Structure 1
């Protein structure tokens, strides 16, 4: 429990304490926090707004959640958790069976999955990611179907009406989905509204969805909700995620694969 502090605590000290509390507890309730620090709730809300503007937390009704660092563009995300993403991609690739139709999301972890498919695998990969398609171009027995549309350069995926219409003709066995946030209460989230709609549309075309989430995305949230945790079959993440961050996911009934 946060001990009480004087009302004249410096703004920088309050902000440091806010971030430390989010890291420790995974959430912050503005009213409770203001009482513990003996300052007004408006003061805490102002601190939260300023920290959110810096990308250091995600504001929600009544307080805040940890912000995901995975909202950088594709090039920036390529520098985050490279080894972990490779392990996640390898584990996901091992779940794909001969004859399956697989929807593969965009993102750096999806590229890792594509590059680690067994050479003898005979399957169909449907993707809206040019990067994934290129990674599969030399695979001898995987058929690749590209979903066309407007290129969203931030994530290097196609989106828009044309992409959504193309999805209407597809029935996949499994969708491997990337996210920027996985939180027991806030669900699965991403940093762009249209991208959230696209991911929901992809989920609707698959019999099941498996989330690929490197460690920095666990217990974090982004502005736009994709779906609740109950909408997916499981999450593949890293063994390095601290157990206090995994425990709420397990309590929510999520099937976790740690690699």
Structure 2
């Protein structure tokens, strides 16, 4: 069922679609939802309030994000992907100290990393991801640094010269990288603009931790970010394909495979 077909459907179907989409993108704005579903913003707000009352979402300025620890459900491909993202994110943040300065990439897995940060974490987070920034807006962190710029709609991320310039005077201990694809030749993004921002963030990091689900092993993306040798660690939910495993071994990266 498409978003357009939900205009005249019952609220239950509409809210199910919203929740499924949130699990993929991490943040949805009221304006975008109203446009996609062909209903009023008042109707969207009513739906979001209902989802918030059920504990699924958290209302933030202009839209909604998933509630930390919200039930993920079961029985659909979207839920399977969401559960895998939650598992790898929870494992990845075990490498973070409570007072670290970290950077978090865009995309659904990056949003899962932000949600997985423990309550004891009081350090600084740098990100160009709108959902990550929305997720952290209510946390008591020492500092959250937003890398503004041109908003890339598909990834809900800021890109471009302004974003890249903002990283020039920054430094982080760990960058949690969540690219669209990975193979034996390197890491890939959906657009050159985002790949450029990801390279900038890699350059200011002491170490780069790649956080992906098995989907990244079979996804093709056109923009090369960097070679595998730039990685310090890989956290994933499935052992990489043999060719990729060999390439990782050559550069000294041992995958941390998080079982379901």
Query: Residues 243 and 159 of structure 1: is their aligned pair in 2 closer, same or farther, counting only changes over 3 Å?
Result: closer
Counterpart position of 1:232: 231
**Alpha carbons 2:104, 2:175 under 8 Å: kept:** yes
**Alpha carbons 1:188, 1:221 under 8 Å: kept:** no
Counterpart position of 2:206: 207
Counterpart position of 2:102: 102
Task: Report the secondary structure of 2:95's partner residue.
Answer: coil
Query: Residues 246 and 160 of structure 1: is their aligned pair in 2 closer, same or farther, counting only changes over 3 Å?
Result: closer
Structure 2: distance between partners of 1:183 and 1:75: 27
1:179-194 aligned at under 5 Å gives the runs: 179-184=179-184, 186-194=185-193
**Alpha carbons 2:128, 2:147 under 8 Å: kept:** yes
1:119-134 aligned at under 5 Å gives the runs: 119-134=119-134
2:255 pairs with 1:217 = no
1:26-37 aligned at under 5 Å gives the runs: none
| Structure 1 gaps, min length 5 | 1-73
Deviation at 1:130, TM superposition (A): 1.3
**Alpha carbons 2:150, 2:160 under 8 Å: kept:** yes
Counterpart position of 2:165: 165
RMSD: 2.1
Rg comparison, structure with higher value:
1
User: TM-score by structure 2 length?
Assistant: 0.65
Question: Residues 69-120 of structure 1: CA distance to partner in whole angstroms, max 9, x if unpaired?
Answer: xxxxx86944371111001111122211122110111110111111121112
**Alpha carbons 2:228, 2:248 under 8 Å: kept:** no
**After TM superposition, which residue ranges in structure 1, 4 or more long, deviate above 4 angstroms?**
74-78
User: TM-score by structure 1 length?
Assistant: 0.66
2:234 pairs with 1:257 = no
Structure 2: distance between partners of 1:143 and 1:149: 19
Deviation at 1:244, TM superposition (A): 3.5
Between 161-170 and 218-227, report the one with greater CA deviation.
Answer: 218-227
2:113 pairs with 1:113 = yes
Question: Residues 181-228 of structure 1: CA distance to partner in whole angstroms, max 9, x if unpaired?
Answer: 1111x2111121111111111111111111111101126542111011
Counterpart position of 1:29: none
Question: Residues 28-83 of structure 1: CA distance to partner in whole angstroms, max 9, x if unpaired?
Answer: xxxxxxxxxxxxxxxxxxxxxxxxxxxxxxxxxxxxxxxxxxxxxx8694437111
- Flag the structure with more relative contact order, 1 or 2, with Cα contacts below 8 A and sequence separation at least 6: 1
Which of 242, 245, 248 in structure 2 is aligned with 1:247?
245
